[in-house]
Amino acid sequence: MQSTQINIENSSNIEGLNEVENKPKKKLSYTKWGYIFIASFFVIYLIFTLVPQLLTIYDSFFDYDPFSGILVTDAHPEFCGFLNYQRLFQENALGVIEIYQTIGNTLIMWIIGAIPQMVIALILALIFTSTRLKLKGTGFFKTAFYMPNLIMASAFSALFLMLFSQIGPIYTLFKDMGWIPEHFDFVVNKTSARLMVAFLNFIMWFGNTTILLMAGIQSIDESIFESARIDGASTRRVLFDMTLPLLKPIVVYVLITSMIGGLQMFDVPQVLTNKAKNSGTRTIIMLLNDYLNMKNYGRAGAISVILFIITAVLSIFVFKTINKKEDR
Amino acid sequence: MADKSKLYESVDSSESRKALIKLIVVKTLCYLFLIFLTFMSFFFFYLLFINTTRSNNQLQDGGLVLIPSDSFFENLHNLFTSFRGEFNAVIGLKNSLIVALGSSLLTCYFSALTAYGIWAYDFKLKKAAEIFILAIMMIPSQLSSVGFYQIAIKYGFRNKLWLLIIPSIAAPATFFYMIQYLRSTVSKELIEASRMDGSNEFMTFNRIVLPIMKPALAVQFIFSFVGSWNNLYMPSLLLSNKDKKTLPIMINALSSTSWGSKDLGCIYMAIFLSIIPVVIVYIFLSRFIIKGVTAGSVKG
Amino acid sequence: MADVKIRNLVKIYPYIDKKPKKGEKVKKTNLQITDKGVVAVQKFNLDIKHGEFVVLVGPSGCGKSTTLRMIAGLEDISEGDLYIDGKLMNAVEPKDRDIAMVFQSYALYPHMTVFQNMAYPLRILPQHITYKFEIRYLNNKLEKIAHIEEELKEKYSNKPEKLQKKLEKYELVKKEAEARITECNGLIDKGEESYFKKMSKDMIDFKVREIAEMLNISEYLDRKPKNLSGGQRQRVAIGRAIVRNPKVLLMDEPLSNLDAKLRNQMRAEIIKIRQRIQTTFIYVTHDQIEAMTLGDRIVVMKDGYIQQVGTPQEVFDHPRNLFVSGFIGIPQMNYFDAKLLKKEDGYYVDINGYVVKPSKEKQERLKKSKVEEQDILVGVRPDHMSITDKGITGRVNVTELMGTTSHIHATVNNKDIIAIVPNDGVHVDYINKDVTFGFNGNVIHMFSKENERNLEFLSEVLASEFRFDDDLAKKQAEHEKK
């Protein structure tokens, strides 16, 4: 009892241990494995994304334009400062400022697709989640509405192009009904072409938006609605006083991410209207694509950088709405 | 059950009868609305299907026909044998399949690996690495496309399919989904148990973690496959060789303003062929996919 | 089986983000905070003998799990040394330490069946295969062959030629196995125990089934973990740990996810398992009943420090400080303010006028420790209190009938105490009455108010202050003198 409570086994053993102790001690550490496991991602990102990104930005300050004042060969572009950016905001031979035109087109087509899409998706999300209506078959409808989102956009557009062409069935139907004038071309007419692009985007994305909004509604505590109802709020009041305000962050999130996606609109207008050379549906990415095909990397780079800046600003909004959501 | 019986009891009073009628009216309107939207979603695909069954002659006459005809297999046969256009079904299907399969497999495996690396180990740059990946998630792919295209041309990498496959190793969005899945469903004790049982770190990942992550891998595989299958922008920049084109590029090349000289049956069939694999996958896995949409959306 | 020596083990968790600024409050913790980080385990010293069952016990955050994880190799060792079987293990990966662990959450691989879970450790690494085990395995094989032979004989009874051919095949295997058995027996006689090799598929199968039978989980071998009950999962987890005959078996709160009834069952089960497999156990728990019933020795920890090491009996009878006395024993020990008096014929304890003379043993220990007169805390376990005429008086608030005993909750000098009195057929309603409680000198524990130590053992080196280095240095100095 008087000695220590810990039984140390006797000394011969201890001397042996001491010898081992003199050797340099290594530590057991898994740190290196973390680096090993994430290495592939970062190496590939560096080579295939980061380097090209930096090259794009670098390019945007060099003149590749064979018709520009400072004429250079393709192999030796010259530093030109912000010339590429300035040129983008100048009128071209047709008297059009291409960057404004394409961004304008993109935004117009996005808005006429996204606004109805948001409204309808909201209505759908509300009636799907309504405990009053208790609709049957919501699973089927959700599945049906989401399907167009997975369809190849270029194929969907090609289909539209054919259905609305001069010999397509929809064209024939419209003509027979007398809704359109003789020799009307859907993809050449500015308004109809824009409407078609917007409509296609609408069809492809409203199901997706519905599902996102439903998740948003379901994440709201059910008891909030119940207590509002017990407090005497009508269905309409619950909708406008509770559901919509609580849903606002998600709606903003969905809208902005949709806008970021919308800015990158390419497949649909490309397939649908590129052959028709419709200037009313030319998007910013189509412009970029054209410059790339001309090997004018400077101008293409400048467009990419502008697009990146717009996206970055919008993304900050997204993160802010997300953070607000967390505060709630 | 309880709700229903209450409903019947209260039918007597005129007030609740009014409410009941109102509910039925609202419900009917809702269903009509839903059916209309369903019609919109399917109508064009239905037309597509009808038109694949009609011969070129029938199609050239125009007109809206809603009843299938009998030329489906003829069109299919013609598309694969005699169709003289930009669309080569065999090559397109093959290339699309290679790129989509290759890139989605790499995306899934390496996203899971990266997520696991950040989730399971403690190292100095752990947090920085995760924040970096989150930050680059929002950068539009177009920013790299100019430089990428330039490099590809410079080093003669155009028309190489692997150039579309390898970069998918670094997929920030998939990484994000994976790390969330790991955090919510896998316990670190499992990793430790495996370590105690004698696995080395790669074995633990391949034999224990990957099988547990199967649901997440499957969802991300589908999305990544569909995304790659449908992608037009990057492939159209890089692939110019006839033998290397993928389906979306071929579809893009089909679009025209004058259809009179072309075999429309074959073109409809080409479109049909491009979308049908995804539709079939969707029919079988729709429930799964829709769950994935919601899960992926709960970001932040 | 192996012995485990732990020398001055320290775990410091470095600050992950930023060092807290001065004056800034860190998360509620009693742990020591140094420049390097938070010290979760303080100079931990312990020698664990071959085949011993040691239980680390303490409240959450006391460092018991961290210690276990350092032994396992899941957590790196900040300072100090760990020896298993005389070999320094600090930098050895867990898979090479020849240890196994049972986790609190069982950590069963959800995508594998019970069989696959248990076979996993055997499949991936070579194992120490004992010759005894191999003989068991071969005998089983021979039995199986005999069974098959009989079946064949029945089947081909009218075709002797075909039978002969079929039997020949088995004959060869049989001979091989028999030869190997004699070989193994020879090696055992020579004193060899085992060899190190990857197990064959058949051998793994036999081994897993053997262990499964021992744990009564043979019927569930093809099920996935999610289709098992908590108790069954626990058995599988233990099975996976013991299937490869680890030298040391670590258990991290293995029973805490079970309900009370199952926990009692599994406790008995663990005792049974321990009797059947020869290995060293290190067991972590916060449950004192588990600690008392399972451990050969228990190590009580708090705030990263060892409080006391000893047999359950020792810890219960002679808690070395106030914390240990309160932590071990249900319901908790009662404490009274008192005065230690030193008179000519020995020490006396004066509790508000109730004077008790400590027993002879206690007197001697107090004398040896040269304890002076002072204000002290006296601890008495509820079981040792009885209702008497002479003693300390308090008002009874609540009585709980527990069956053969009653718990009486009373207030004495503004302190709540509990006394356990037997139910001997005479029912008295004590509620709201003043009752006098007494106890004798054998059962009192005297604690210093100054440092909360048990006064009887004041001269002893504290477990938390014991440093192996000092001891070693002394011994070495002596050695050099010679």
CATH number at residue C344: 2.40.50.140
Can you read off the two tokens belonging to residue B162? 């692997």
A317–chain C nearest CA distance, Å:
27
A161 has a chain B CB within 8 A of its CB: yes
- Residues A81 and A188 reside in one and the same domain: no
Task: Measure CB to CB from residue B196 to each of C16, C100, C108 and give the nearest one.
Answer: C100
Q: Crossing angle of helices B14-52/A153-163, nearest 10°?
A: 80
pLDDT, tens digit (0-9, with 9 covering 90-100), for A113-125: 999 999 999 999 9
Provide mean pLDDT across the span A28-53.
Answer: 93
Residue at A288 is within a domain: yes
Going along chain B from its start, the domains and CATH numbers come out as: 14-81 (no CATH), 89-255 (1.10.3720.10)
Please answer yes or no on whether B199 and C73 come within 8 Å at the CB atom.
no
Residue at C119 is within a domain: no
Taking the C-alpha atoms of residue A224 and residue A230, their distance in angstroms, rounded to an integer, is: 10
pLDDT, tens digit (0-9, with 9 covering 90-100), for B110-147: 999 999 999 999 898 999 999 999 889 888 888 999 99
Residue in chain A closest to B234 (alpha carbons) equals: A289
How many of the other CB atoms lie within 10 Å of CB of C449?
12
A8 has a chain C CB within 8 A of its CB: yes
A165 has a chain B CB within 8 A of its CB: yes
Task: Measure CB to CB from residue C76 to each of A7, A11, A27 and give the nearest one.
Answer: A27
Please answer yes or no on whether A274 and B255 come within 8 Å at the CB atom.
yes
pLDDT tens by residue, chain C, 482 residues = 688 999 888 998 887 555 555 555 555 567 788 777 888 898 899 999 999 999 999 998 899 999 999 999 988 899 899 999 988 998 888 888 889 999 998 899 999 999 999 999 999 888 889 999 999 999 999 999 999 888 888 888 888 888 888 888 888 889 999 999 999 999 999 988 889 999 999 999 999 999 999 999 999 999 999 999 999 999 999 999 999 889 999 999 999 889 989 999 999 999 999 998 889 999 999 999 999 999 999 999 999 999 999 999 999 999 999 999 999 988 999 999 999 999 888 899 999 889 999 999 999 999 988 888 999 999 999 999 988 888 899 999 998 888 888 899 999 888 899 999 888 776 778 888 899 999 988 999 999 998 889 998 888 877 766 665 555 556 555 655 65
Which of A41, A62, A87 lies at the terminal end of a domain, its last residue?
Answer: A87
Q: Which residues of B86-119 are buried (b: 16+ CB within 10 A; e: fewer)?
A: bbbbebbbebbebbbebbbbbbbbbbbbbbbbbb
Taking the C-alpha atoms of residue B124 and residue A31, their distance in angstroms, rounded to an integer, is: 8
Please answer yes or no on whether C47 and A16 come within 8 Å at the CB atom.
no
Please answer yes or no on whether B199 and C94 come within 8 Å at the CB atom.
no
Residue in chain B closest to C240 (alpha carbons) equals: B197
Domains in chain A: how many in total?
2
- Domain span holding position C179: 127-197
Residue at C21 is within a domain: yes
Angle value at C-alpha C60, between C57 and C62, nearest 5 degrees = 65
Residue at A164 is within a domain: yes
A40–chain C nearest CA distance, Å:
25
How many of the other CB atoms lie within 10 Å of CB of A126?
19
Residue at A108 is within a domain: yes
A326–chain C nearest CA distance, Å:
22
How many of the other CB atoms lie within 10 Å of CB of A72?
15
User: What's the length of chain A?
Assistant: 328
- Residues A148 and A59 reside in one and the same domain: no
C466, burial (CB in 10 Å: exposed 0-12, middle 13-18, buried 19+): buried
Task: Measure CB to CB from residue A14 to each of C77, C88, C472 and give the nearest one.
Answer: C472
B211 has a chain C CB within 8 A of its CB: yes
Residue at A2 is within a domain: no
The proportion of chain A whose per-residue pLDDT surpasses 90, expressed as a percent, equals 41
Which of A44, A71, A87 lies at the terminal end of a domain, its last residue?
Answer: A87
Mean pLDDT across chain B, nearest whole number?
87
Please answer yes or no on whether A155 and B175 come within 8 Å at the CB atom.
no
C-alpha count within 13 angstroms, C-beta hemisphere, residue C468: 26
Please answer yes or no on whether C91 and A26 come within 8 Å at the CB atom.
yes
Please tell me the predicted confidence (pLDDT) of residue A185.
Answer: 87
Residues 6+ apart with CB under 8 A from B22: none
pLDDT, tens digit (0-9, with 9 covering 90-100), for A262-286: 999 999 999 988 888 888 999 999 9
Can you read off the two tokens belonging to residue C423? 């139910």
Which of A56, A87, A118 lies at the terminal end of a domain, its last residue?
Answer: A87
Please answer yes or no on whether A318 and B138 come within 8 Å at the CB atom.
yes
- Domain span holding position A67: 31-87
Please answer yes or no on whether C107 and B190 come within 8 Å at the CB atom.
yes
Residue at A24 is within a domain: no
Residue in chain C closest to B190 (alpha carbons) equals: C107
Can you read off the two tokens belonging to residue C278? 């020869």
How many of the other CB atoms lie within 10 Å of CB of A190?
13
Taking the C-alpha atoms of residue C482 and residue C480, their distance in angstroms, rounded to an integer, is: 5
Taking the C-alpha atoms of residue B111 and residue B105, their distance in angstroms, rounded to an integer, is: 10
Task: Measure CB to CB from residue A28 to each of C7, C47, C92 and give the nearest one.
Answer: C92
Q: How many CB pairs under 8 A join B and C?
A: 59
pLDDT, tens digit (0-9, with 9 covering 90-100), for A285-310: 999 999 988 888 899 999 999 999 99
Residue C192 Ramachandran class (φ > 0 left, ψ -120 to 50 alpha, else beta):
beta
- Residues A181 and A303 reside in one and the same domain: yes
- Residues C341 and C440 reside in one and the same domain: yes
- Residues A242 and A277 reside in one and the same domain: yes
- Residues C86 and C155 reside in one and the same domain: no
- Residues A299 and A194 reside in one and the same domain: yes
Taking the C-alpha atoms of residue B136 and residue B129, their distance in angstroms, rounded to an integer, is: 11
Higher pLDDT, C54 or A28: C54
Which of B98, B100, B92 shows the shortest CA–CA distance to B242? B92
Task: Map A117-167 to HEC letters.
Answer: HHHHHHHHHHHHHCCCCCCCCHHHHHHHHHHHHHCCHHHHHHHHHHHCCCC
Provide mean pLDDT across the span A53-78.
Answer: 72
Please tell me the predicted confidence (pLDDT) of residue A262.
Answer: 92
Task: Map chain B to HEC letters.
Answer: CHHHHHHHHHHHCHHHHHHHHHHHHHHHHHHHHHHHHHHHHHHHHHHHHHHHCCCHHHHHCCCCCCCCCCCHHHHHHHHHHCCCCCCCHHHHHHHHHHHHHHHHHHHHHHHHHHHHHHHHCCCCCHHHHHHHHHHHCCCCCHHHHHHHHHHHHHCCCCCCCHHHHHHHHCCHHHHHHHHHHHHHHCCHHHHHHHHHCCCCHHHHHHHHHHHHCHHHHHHHHHHHHHHHHHCCHHHHHHCCCCCCCCHHHHHHHHCCCCCCCCCHHHHHHHHHHHHHHHHHHHHHHHHHHHHHHHHHHCCC
Q: Which SS3 state, helix, strand or coil, does residue A242 take?
A: helix
Residue ranges of chain B whose pLDDT lies below 50: 1-2, 5, 10-11, 297-300
Residue C303 Ramachandran class (φ > 0 left, ψ -120 to 50 alpha, else beta):
left
Q: Which residues pair with C101 in a beta bridge?
A: C250
B125 has a chain C CB within 8 A of its CB: no
- Residues C287 and C339 reside in one and the same domain: no
Neighbours of chain C (3+ CB pairs under 8 A): A, B
A212 has a chain B CB within 8 A of its CB: yes
Task: Measure CB to CB from residue A7 to each of C47, C77, C81 and give the nearest one.
Answer: C47
- Residues A44 and A59 reside in one and the same domain: yes
Task: Measure CB to CB from residue B44 to each of A45, A163, A326 and give the nearest one.
Answer: A163
Domains in chain C: how many in total?
3
